[in-house]
Amino acid sequence: MSLQHEVAVLKDKIVKATVDSETWRSAGNQEKYMENCLLVEMLEQQLDVLYRERTQ
């Protein structure tokens, strides 16, 4: 898988997890909301790692 493809996949996952977290927040499910917030953070960290690897 190319770097561009990996970045695109991660960005898509971030968007989906962000939408899901807002859905859970609106539904009042705090536990699922927090799970998805953590997932977003993890995916963003993975994306940062990919960017750092690219610049080295």
Please check whether residue 1 is in contact with residue 24, taking contact to mean a CB–CB distance below 8 angstroms: no
Match 């690219």 to its residue by tokens.
54
DSSP 19: H
DSSP 30-56: HHHHHHHHHHHHHHHHHHHHHHHHHH-
For the chain, the farthest-separated pair of C-alpha atoms sits apart, in whole angstroms, at 43
Q: What is the pTM of this model?
A: 0.88
**Domain spans of the chain, in order of start:** 3-55
Q: State pLDDT tens for residues 4-56.
A: 899 999 999 999 999 999 999 999 999 999 999 999 999 999 999 998 988 87
Res 1 pLDDT > 80? no
Query: What is the pLDDT at residue 11?
Result: 97
Per-residue pLDDT band for 2 (boundaries 50, 70, 90) equals confident
